[in-house]
Amino acid sequence: MHPWHNSAECLTARDPNKAHRRIQHSAQRPLYALRNRIKRCINRLKNCRRVATRYDQTASSFLGFVQLAAIRMWISFVHVA
């Protein structure tokens, strides 16, 4: 486990409520926005077939290809901007 899992800063983000829900929970917008951004980033990383299917045997090799996929995403973002 990572040390930040137990900290008070690590709050759980809730999905927005459905209209028909009896008890409405307050959605924390900044946490929801951050969670959404992280989910979209992971989804884009999974577009790389090797990352999604995890062909690599070792964790270090897998991490290397995740980093390569992230660099490819970053380069395409920089060239557009």
* Number of structural domains found in the chain: 1
pTM: 0.57
d(CA 66, CA 45): 7
Residue 7 belongs to some domain of the structure: no
pLDDT value of residue 75: 92
Residue 2 belongs to some domain of the structure: no
pLDDT value of residue 71: 93
Q: Three-class SS of residue 81?
A: coil
Residue 62 belongs to some domain of the structure: yes
pLDDT per residue as tens digits for the range 3-58: 555 555 555 656 666 778 777 766 678 888 898 999 999 999 888 888 888 888 89
Segments forming the whole domain that contains residue 44:
16-80
pLDDT value of residue 7: 54
